[in-house]
Chain A
């Protein structure tokens, strides 16, 4: 049986009237990535801060690598690496100096710290900037260096709090590659994100949280299945065709069609694949509808979130008191 490397049971944490965590339960098996997915204010960062010993929960308990985070924070800290939404780096130190400092504070041997720092700089493509103060770094470079600082002691458990928030697509892709690499190396990872695509792509398992509690848990496929099956989706050539397309799809699908005017898209739930596509094309053609694109589509995690919480995931939502 695989070991549980991160476990939280019934965590509560309030700030004044705000219940940031309201009975949060999580568990992450060794060597897997758990994606903690939720909108702003859902309690993701608070959960990470409790698990990384930065704040104490009001109630409940949590262990990392089997060690209680409240009772033995110092022990936990030797086994974790943390990279946050706000890169925790020293702006005036160079990239290399930051890694060396963090390495020595992890109490690595000075020689080992230097070897690993140099290797991380190389691996994270920061070689040219290694001897420049961090304040000259771009957002993507900061995140990579921050992740490097989390990795320098090669801890068995890594926490990533919104590792790609605010990065451009290129920066995001390179972070994704680094994170996927880590998981292949056997590190246990807990990653928070508000990007459904990110959780879908990287996480073995996803916990959707809202108002400080887990509201759904499973693999991306399982979560999508909760929302419903496959849909047939078409994109029409002109908005004028939308109405006719809706009628055609409703005739061969299951229930009402969903129409999105701006993207000229119409979709409908279907129960079986067999012959649906050819049938649809024939019908659309005889109805005079010009189609740009047609295909089967499984629900996205966006839709999962919408159906679980009644609102889109990427909307900014304040935690209710």
Chain B
């Protein structure tokens, strides 16, 4: 077999291992199952009546925000799962084997992509039950899912870099919360940015989460990519170009010490 097919076979082996982990400890899926359901239900029922958005009903407006928030958390959560692995002896075993070393990381991020896809499927169904109407049509909806998964995949690689840097997985939980949570709130996730003070709206309009959310919202609700789609994709690709080599470098540095 060639180098590429060995890489692929090693990566499949790593994904298989991660999926067995999920099967044996289903609570690993809570963050991509229970929490998004809770968010959809709480926001649409509690805030739904109080927040007025133009053109759409609030649940339909909200869904793009919930999708991207969940995917962002799931993506960055890769760091915790990797940091967990790094604490145990298993990485030493992998490093002493004639396997492709980057497959350990690729296996991790691909598994997390599957987790994100599962989360989207669940949220989509719950959203539909509560009044989400993806009136944009099938193909634009698929494009929207593609854009958010690309964003999640890019964040996973940022997670690889972060997970390789910290000594303990616990250290990450707080940081993730302190960074990702404000970013989702200072975005177009839950309210239109026009309702924010000017200086905050200026930031909110330009940060990547808003762009990804706007692109997803526009595609799912109107079927049009809108002005945010291209910048959203470029941000994700930009994150990937930086964090993929950085993540591999930091991981190698960490594991060869």
Shortest CB-to-CB span from B21 to chain A, Å, is 5
Whether B90 sits at the interface, judged by CB under 8 Å, is yes
Contact with A along B1-32 (1 / 0, CB 8 A): 00000100110010011001100110000000
Contact partner of B96 among A15, A54, A56, CB < 8 A? A54
Binds B, one of A98-106, A257-265, A269-277: A98-106
Q: How far is the CA of A15 from the CA of B13 in the complex (A)?
A: 34
**How far, in Å, is B18 (CB) from chain A's closest CB?**
10
Nearest chain A CB to B73's CB is how many angstroms away? Answer: 23
Q: When the two chains form their complex, are residues B93 and A77 in contact, meaning their CB atoms are under 8 A apart?
A: no
Question: Would you call B94 an interface residue if the criterion is a C-beta within 8 Å of the partner chain's C-beta atoms?
Answer: yes
Cα-based distance from A104 to B96 in the complex (angstroms): 14
Name the distance in Å between A144's Cβ and chain B's nearest Cβ: 15
- A302 close to chain B: CB less than 8 A: no
Please, which residues of chain B bring their CB within 8 A of the CB of A88?
89-90, 92-93
Q: Min CB distance, A94 to chain B, in Å?
A: 9
**Contact of A90 with B90 at beta-carbon distance under 8 Å, contacts A56-B256, A101-B17 already known:** yes
Interface contact tally, CB-CB below 8 A = 63
B84 to chain A, nearest CB (A): 11
Q: Given the known A-B contacts A56-B256, A92-B24, A105-B13, are A74 and B90 also in contact in the complex, defined by CB atoms under 8 Å? A: no
Asked if residues A54 and B90 are in contact (CB atoms below 8 Å), the reply is no
Q: Do residues A84 and B24 form an inter-chain contact, with CB atoms below 8 A?
A: no
Q: Would you give the shortest CB distance from A233 to chain B, in whole angstroms?
A: 42
Dominant secondary structure at the B interface: helix
A54 near B95 with CB under 8 A, answer yes
Answer yes or no: B99 CB below 8 A from chain A CBs: yes
In the complex, how many angstroms separate the beta carbon of A156 from the nearest chain B beta carbon?
A: 14
Give the complex CA separation of A149 and B94 in angstroms. 11
Would you call A105 and B94 a contact (CB within 8 A)?
A: yes
Minimal beta-carbon separation of B174 from chain A (angstroms): 25
Alpha-carbon separation in the docked complex, A105 to B13 (Å): 8
Out of A53, A56, A91, A107, name the residue touching B95 (CB < 8 Å): A53
Is A37 an interface position by the 8 A CB rule?
Answer: no
A107 to B95 alpha-carbon distance, docked (Å): 14
Nearest CB of chain B from residue A13's CB, rounded to whole Å:
11
| Residues in B neighbouring A52, C-beta threshold 8 A | 96
Q: How many residues of A contact B (CB 8 A)?
A: 29
The answer to whether B89 touches A84 (Cβ under 8 A) is yes
Q: In angstroms, how far is the closest chain B Cβ from the Cβ of A69?
A: 11
Give min CB distance, B233 to chain A, whole Å.
Answer: 35
State whether the Cβ of A80 lies closer than 8 Å to any Cβ in chain B. yes
User: How long is the Cα–Cα vector from A102 to B96 in the complex, in angstroms?
Assistant: 10
Closest chain A CB from B98 CB (angstroms): 4
B95 with A106: CB separation less than 8 A: no
Residues of B within 8 A of A77 (CB): 96-98
Which of A92, A101, A149 interacts with B13 by CB under 8 Å?
Answer: A101
CB distance from B16 to the nearest CB of A (A): 8
B89 in contact with A54 (CB, 8 Å): no
- Assess whether A87 is interfacial by the CB under 8 Å rule: yes
Structural contact, B98 and A107, CB atoms closer than 8 A: yes
Chain A residues whose C-beta falls within 8 Å of the C-beta of B9 in the assembled complex = 104
Known: A82-B93, A102-B97. A54 touches B256 (CB 8 A): yes
In the complex, the answer to whether B20 meets A93 with C-beta atoms within 8 Å is yes
Q: Which of B16-69 contact A (CB under 8 A)?
A: 16-17, 20-21, 24-25
Contact check, B97 vs A106: say whether CB atoms are below 8 A apart.
yes
Chain A, residue nearest B24 (CB): A92
| Any A CB within 8 A of the CB of B257 | yes
A105 interface neighbour in B20, B99, B255, Cβ under 8 Å: B99
Partner among B24, B90, B256 whose Cβ is within 8 Å of the Cβ of A55: B256
The docked-state distance in angstroms from the alpha carbon of A89 to that of B85 is 11
Cα–Cα, bound, A77→B89 (Å): 17
Nearest Cβ distance between residue A61 and chain B, in whole angstroms? 17
Shortest Cβ gap from A261 to chain B (Å): 43
Q: How far is the CA of A105 from the CA of B97 in the complex (A)?
A: 7
| Binary flags per residue of A231-258, CB closer than 8 Å to B gives 1, else 0 | 0000000000000000000000000000
Are B24 and A133 within 8 A (Cβ)? yes
When distances are taken between beta carbons in the complex, the residues of chain A under 8 Å from B94 are 105
Question: Which residues 129-156 of A sit at the B interface, judged by CB distance below 8 A?
Answer: 133, 149
The answer to whether B89 touches A86, judged by C-beta atoms less than 8 angstroms apart, is yes
Q: What separation, in Å, do the CA atoms of A93 and B21 have in the docked complex?
A: 7
Q: Mark B171-214, 1 if CB is under 8 A from A, else 0.
A: 00000000000000000000000000000000000000000000
Which residues of chain A from 17 to 66 have any CB-CB distance to chain B below 8 Å in the complex?
Answer: 52-56
CB pairs A–B below 8 angstroms (5 shown): A89-B89, A89-B93, A93-B20, A102-B93, A105-B99
4 tightest Cβ-Cβ pairs between the two chains A and B: A88-B93, A88-B89, A77-B98, A105-B99
Interface of B toward A, CB cutoff 8 Å = 6, 9-10, 13, 16-17, 20-21, 24-25, 88-90, 92-99, 255-257
Task: Report which A residues bind B (CB closer than 8 A).
Answer: 15, 52-56, 74, 77-78, 80, 82, 84, 86-93, 97, 101-102, 104-107, 133, 149
Beyond known contacts A15-B257, A104-B9: 6 more, CB 8 A cutoff: A54-B92, A56-B256, A77-B96, A89-B93, A102-B93, A107-B98
